[in-house]
Amino acid sequence: MSSTLTPLSEIADVLRSAQRIAIAAHVRPDGDALGSVMGLALSLRAMGKEVYALLEDGVPTNLAFLPEVATVLTPPYADFEIDVAVALDTATHERVGEHTKAALARAPFLIDIDHHPTNPGYGQMNHVDGTEPAVGQIVYNLLQAGGFPITDAVMQHLFTAISTDTGSFQYSSTNARTHQIAAEMLTAGLDTARLAQLLYQTHPARRLLLLRAMLNEMDIRAEGRIASWQFTRALMDEVQVQPGDTEGLIDTLRMIDTVVTAVIFEEMPDGKIRVSARSKDQRLDVSAVCGQFGGGGHRMASGARMKGPIQVAAETFLTALEHEVRRLA
Amino acid sequence: MSSTLTPLSEIADVLRSAQRIAIAAHVRPDGDALGSVMGLALSLRAMGKEVYALLEDGVPTNLAFLPEVATVLTPPYADFEIDVAVALDTATHERVGEHTKAALARAPFLIDIDHHPTNPGYGQMNHVDGTEPAVGQIVYNLLQAGGFPITDAVMQHLFTAISTDTGSFQYSSTNARTHQIAAEMLTAGLDTARLAQLLYQTHPARRLLLLRAMLNEMDIRAEGRIASWQFTRALMDEVQVQPGDTEGLIDTLRMIDTVVTAVIFEEMPDGKIRVSARSKDQRLDVSAVCGQFGGGGHRMASGARMKGPIQVAAETFLTALEHEVRRLA
Ligand SMILES: [Mn+2]
Ligand SMILES: [Mn+2]
């Protein structure tokens, strides 16, 4: 179809000439998904456009403090009509969710803006740039390219997108432009410290209970090089887990200096076991191990779904992983 | 004496004309102390100067990965002679430590560069700016003002100073210039992600054991508004605690959304109990509560020393604190 790097000014032209626009992102939205959708939505609304922000799974509770998130729509969607649809931060069209995909299909024109390098470019217009640390950063550049309004509420969303997808400017995807944008937002008066406090320094007690359970139950093997944890439904029920509570737990396992790979096994409602694996060593490709169980992803961050029970899945996966770890040295 | 905001270009002139320079920072050095000292030292050495980096307590183990830290001197100091002395990040002259203060006194000229607003300006030349988030940021500005070399090693130290003193760009002290400097360093090729990984994502297993103990033992009272923990010598011995291991533990207590004040009680080798208190509510002044026990500090972060045993000290302090918390609402 078209190039996967349509200039942002051309995308801005299409959005400028549209009046009714739907914007969506992936299921189980994170900060970059929600922040990009609402950052773009609020800017376009400030231009007087009719904008529908669609999230199949709604707003995660830990991001509910952000402005105007009450305007996010979830299925079943009403019968609104749209001229242009935008999918953000979504590697495959299906990942917006079934109802959302159907709603986006009401427009004759789909714009796909993403930073997942595997994104095939499923829109009529695509801007897929795997070097960008966050879609929020692309959206900020898009708003500047179009001369679109960048209000305080827009900045709150886009800063959230950028900050969360870079681990507060810590991941290797962070580039000079990322910091330039933060500098511009501070100069424009954005209270980034308040956002950081709400994003990183405020958690429900539930989250500390989960962290405590993980530290009490974690399994360390292969001379401290593998750290893992089995997150059971029993604990989920006990703690009354909410979406967002588990974010970053795996990073705590990764922090141990001897660890080269960390894995969390999570019991899903359907009995399947969701495996999340991280590598800290470029030589250890966790996507290859996940691939053995029908999963995949990136070299350093990957996932799979396995059959339960959780103890059996964990032993099977960890045995395969340990085999790879032992080949390192 | 002189103004407390001598222009950085004048300080650069003094350093440029000196040949033998000693640079020191406060006892129990943190990232800003070590990073500022070594950032300035390595730049001046790159200009061919003879530079002595003095730290009364040496290099903390968690920062030992930084370049050239093996050149940091600790007491007893040899009989070197110096033309100019520099104290960085040190609110009172005494805080450099006894031996270091004596060594700095060998120079007829002391430059005091700091961001603690209480610093009286104890040098012949002083640059004390309480609006700066880190002394590392002042040193970076100083190097630019003087046209001094900013090598990769210099940047590693100054980035560490800036990043640690702003909690990875999260504290309210972070300003547009902070991000501009990070952008400049990335443009100059600094691998900030590697530094972040070493600073924040690598901890000895000991630290997770401490975190686990804290989560298992923490005391929550006053309807979840007070979180506290008693850090005993028994646990310190069991875990074989090293300097730096406990950094940030109190932030985890503060994270609980209901908490307005967090306190850690720590058994000292002399049997005294060190109290560290934090407030999350501008209306709750923890320095007033610490003042009741001979301590003090800032409104939001304060400390005291109490008589043991630790259980009695904790109950006494928490009773006084709860009294203040209950007055809030
Ligand atoms: Mn993203
Ligand atoms: Mn400092």
Average pLDDT over every residue of B182-201: 95
Tell me the residue type at B291. G
Average pLDDT, chain A: 94
Domain A205-325 in CATH 1.10.8.640? The answer is: no
Interface of B with A in 206-235 (CB under 8 A): 207-208, 211-212, 215-216, 220, 224
Q: Quick check: A171 and B193 CB within 8 A? A: yes
Q: Would you tell me how many other CB atoms lie within 10 Å of the CB of residue B111?
A: 24
Name the DSSP letter for residue B63. G
Query: Across the interface, which of B168, B173, B202 has its CB nearest the CB of A169?
Result: B168
Residue percentage of chain A with pLDDT more than 70: 99
pLDDT tops 80 at residue B1: no
Q: Using the mean position of ligand 2's atoms as its centre, give its distance from the Cα of residue A208 in Å.
A: 29
Write down the pLDDT at residue B108.
Answer: 96
- Going by DSSP bridges, is the β-strand pair A219-221/A226-231 parallel, antiparallel, or unpaired? antiparallel
Please indicate whether residue B320 or residue B296 has the higher confidence score (pLDDT). Answer: B320
Query: Across the interface, which of A167, A180, A197 has its CB nearest the CB of B183?
Result: A180
Write down the pLDDT at residue B239.
Answer: 92
Please tell me the number of Cα atoms within 13 Å of A150 on its side-chain side: 23
Helix axes B205-217, A205-217, angle to 10 degrees: 130
pLDDT tens digit sequence for A14-43 = 999 999 999 999 999 999 999 999 999 999
Q: Domain extents for chain A? A: 8-200, 205-325
**B268/B295 Cα distance (integer angstroms):** 16
Residues of B in contact with A133 (CB under 8 A): none
Q: Collect the ranges in chain A with pLDDT lower than 70.
A: 1-3
Interface contacts (A, B; CB < 8 Å): 120
Q: Using the mean position of ligand 1's atoms as its centre, give its distance from the Cα of residue B173 in Å.
A: 27
- In terms of Cβ atoms closer than 10 Å to its own Cβ (0-12, 13-18, 19+), residue B46 is middle
Write down the pLDDT at residue A3.
Answer: 58
Supply angle C-alpha B84, B86, B88, rounded to 5.
175
Residue percentage of chain B with pLDDT more than 90: 83
Q: Quick check: B205 and A257 CB within 8 A? A: yes
Q: Quick check: B179 and A174 CB within 8 A? A: no
Q: Would you tell me how many other CB atoms lie within 10 Å of the CB of residue A312?
A: 12
Please indicate whether residue B280 or residue B154 has the higher confidence score (pLDDT). Answer: B154
CB A284 within 8 A of CB A259: no
- The separation between the first and the last C-alpha atoms of chain B, rounded to the nearest angstrom, is 47
pLDDT tops 70 at residue B3: no
Cis peptide bond upstream of A309, omega within 30: yes
CB B44 within 8 A of CB B14: no
Write down the pLDDT at residue B2.
Answer: 43
User: Which ligand is in closest contact with the Cα of B137?
Assistant: 2
Q: Quick check: A200 and B258 CB within 8 A? A: no
Write down the pLDDT at residue A2.
Answer: 43
Average pLDDT over every residue of B85-110: 97
**B83/A29 Cα distance (integer angstroms):** 60
Nearest 10 degrees: Cα torsion A32, A34, A36, A40: -170
- The separation between the first and the last C-alpha atoms of chain A, rounded to the nearest angstrom, is 46
Which of B158, B61, B65, B79 lies closest to B113 in space, CA to CA? Answer: B158
Flag whether the pTM goes above 0.90. Answer: no
Give the nearest chain A residue to B183 (CA atoms): A176
**A167/A196 Cα distance (integer angstroms):** 11
Q: Using the mean position of ligand 2's atoms as its centre, give its distance from the Cα of residue B285 in Å.
A: 22
- What Cα–Cα distance (Å) separates residue A64 from each residue in A69, A171, B70, B74? 7, 25, 48, 51
Q: Quick check: A183 and B180 CB within 8 A? A: yes
Token digits for A59? 């707003």
Judged by average pLDDT, the poorest of A80-84, A180-184, B171-175, B241-245 is B241-245
Residues of B in contact with A177 (CB under 8 A): 183
**A282/B204 Cα distance (integer angstroms):** 21
Helices (H), ranges, chain A: 8-17, 31-46, 98-104, 135-146, 152-165, 176-187, 192-200, 205-217, 233-239, 249-254, 286-291, 310-326
Helices (H), ranges, chain B: 8-17, 31-46, 98-104, 135-146, 152-165, 176-187, 192-200, 205-217, 233-239, 249-254, 286-291, 310-326
- Per-residue 3-state assignment (H helix, E strand, C coil) for B107-142: CCEEEEEECCCCCCCCCCEEEECCCCCCHHHHHHHH
Residues of A in contact with B176 (CB under 8 A): 183-184, 186-187
| CATH for A8-200 (3.10.20.30, 3.90.1640.10, 3.40.50.300, 1.20.1440.230) | 3.90.1640.10
Q: Which residues of B150-165 are buried (b: 16+ CB within 10 A; e: fewer)?
A: beebbbbbbbbbbbbb
pLDDT tens digit sequence for B211-223 = 999 999 999 999 9
Give just the sign of the alpha carbon dihedral B246, B247, B249, B250: positive
Q: Using the mean position of ligand 1's atoms as its centre, give its distance from the Cα of residue B251 in Å.
A: 27
Give the nearest chain B residue to A184 (CA atoms): B176
For residue B10, the distance in angstroms to the closest alpha carbon of chain A comes to 28
Q: Is A264 on the interface with B (CB under 8 A)?
A: no
Interface of B with A in 12-31 (CB under 8 A): none
Average pLDDT over every residue of B224-233: 96
List A84's β-bridge partners, or say none: A21, A109
Give the nearest chain A residue to B185 (CA atoms): A176
